Amino acid sequence: MSTIGSAEGFQAVSLKQEGDDQPSETDHLSMEEEDSGKGLMPRHISRQSSVTESTLYPNPYHQPYISRKYFATRPGAIETAVEDLKGHIAETSGETIQGFWLLTKIDHWNNEKERILLVTDKTLLICKYDFIMLSCVQLQRIPLSAVYRICLGKFTFPGMSLDKRQGEGLRIYWGSPEEQSLLSRWNPWSTEVPYATFTEHPMKHTSEKFLEICKLSGFVSKLVPGIQNAHKNSIGSGRGKKLMVLTEPILIETYTGLMSFIGNRNKLGYSLARGSIGF
């Protein structure tokens, strides 16, 4: 049998580009081995730890599959929802629509809920829309003349709260929180809460279209003049009332937050593709 050469004749060769004078990591290791063979103390190799900056909502431009999980971003979904609501308004009240937005509602138990908001010349409509079945599940009407305060600011929680969130939002008041009953305050499914809290939808950066309809600033720029005009044109108890727009922290009075922790982590408040279940 013939043998191909001898292993002693081979030498390790470092692959480099021409003009690359910087030693590679392999060169560093070999240099340190040579130094240690000469009786020198071995040097420690300092390596920079890679830091991955995590964000609450990853940029869908870099991970498009994340945006496709939300049914609201599917082609034609948001357009169908708006047309359904426009038809409903035309049949029931005939009011003029000033604009529509896709935002996230945060209830008094810190649960996130996907909502479509429409501002007409008289009413703020908050719609729970099923983007899977393309149907309106719940519609809440708030007269603009009843809104007396809007707060913009960062979210805050009680000092002993275990349930906290970062970010900013706005809260719209059409009734006094002091008049809210104890039962509705501690009932996570209560519909008698005299205010609503919103923040931007996680799919804000999916496209230019969603960037426009998911911005809080755009919503506020239409809502505030609409409320002011409604107060001027009101003939009831709201006539002459002035709207207060404040910049202050928004308190969410939750403490343990186990329910919202599970729901928000799994995005249960959104129409979301959750994969196949079965075998």
Q: How does pLDDT run across 156-194, given as a tens digit for each residue?
A: 999 888 878 899 999 999 998 888 888 888 888 888 899
Residue 218 lies in a domain: yes
Residue 75 scores a pLDDT above 50: yes
DSSP 200: E
- Name the token pair of 271: 């129409």
Tens digit of pLDDT for each residue in 122-144? Answer: 999 999 999 999 999 999 999 99
Which phi and psi angles does 130 have, rounded to 5°? -90, 105
- Hey, is 203 helix, strand or coil? coil
Residue 177: which domain range?
62-266
Q: Are 148 and 173 in contact (CB under 8 A)?
A: yes
How many structural domains is the chain composed of?
A: 1
Residue 271 lies in a domain: no
Q: Are 123 and 95 in contact (CB under 8 A)?
A: yes
CATH number at residue 71: 2.30.29.30
Task: Give me the half-sphere count of Cα atoms (radius 13 Å) on the Cβ side of residue 270.
Answer: 21
d(CA 170, CA 198): 5
Residue 225 lies in a domain: yes
Reported confidence tier of residue 153, pLDDT bands at 50, 70, 90: very high
Residue 111 lies in a domain: yes
pTM of the full structure: 0.74
**Lowest-confidence segment of 199-208, 210-219, 231-240 by average pLDDT:** 231-240
Which phi and psi angles does 138 have, rounded to 5°? -150, 140
Q: Are 177 and 194 in contact (CB under 8 A)?
A: yes
Q: What letter represents residue 65's amino acid?
A: Y
Residue 170 lies in a domain: yes
Residue 156 lies in a domain: yes
Residue 190 lies in a domain: yes
Q: What is the pLDDT of residue 57?
A: 46
Count of CB atoms situated within 10 Å of the CB of 132: 12
Which residue, among 114, 116, 196, has the nearest Cα to 151 in the 3D structure?
Answer: 196
Residue 44 lies in a domain: no
Reported confidence tier of residue 119, pLDDT bands at 50, 70, 90: very high
DSSP 122: S
